[in-house]
Structure 1
Amino acid sequence: GFIEQFVQTGVRNIDYAVINAGVLKYPNRTLEMTFDHFATHLHTNTIGPIIVAQKLLQLSNVAIGTVAFMSSDSGSTTQFLAFEDG
């Protein structure tokens, strides 16, 4: 995976890590979405970035500066667009 590839580069310092993930396979079809589809969205958009940050921070030989998470406005209660599933 990504972390293993990163370790092989030999980089020992990360000033800023911006972690972004997003998937929207079934736009405008919330009522048709199965649990498996919902789980894919949840795992990719929420759990995935947290696991990546966790694995980066566990690298004892790499100095990490700032870790930032990026998301779309679909997750916002104030920026949600009516045509998006969110």
Structure 2
Amino acid sequence: MNPFFTHHPGLALLSRVLAAVLGGYLLASAWAVFCGLVFPGGVEAVLAGVQLSFAWYVAAVVWAFSPVPLGRVWRGLLVPAVALLALARWGG
């Protein structure tokens, strides 16, 4: 864990809240974009991606407040989101 957050528990909590809200939104949005661009079916693929993005968002919130190091939380949210966006860009 970063020593800066070790001495400032309020900042660690703020970072987890931001990871839950912003990181979860980024991951859910990346999933919806990925589904809409990669899977066939047009509107149905977009709707399926949006519906499943709610589950990804809830999973991201649970992950953000799980008892794992803060750096791992951010990596666990940002790496898949960037990967999904890159795959959507490559596949779409």
| TM score, norm. by length of structure 1 | 0.36
> Based on CA coordinates, which of the two structures has the bigger radius of gyration?
1
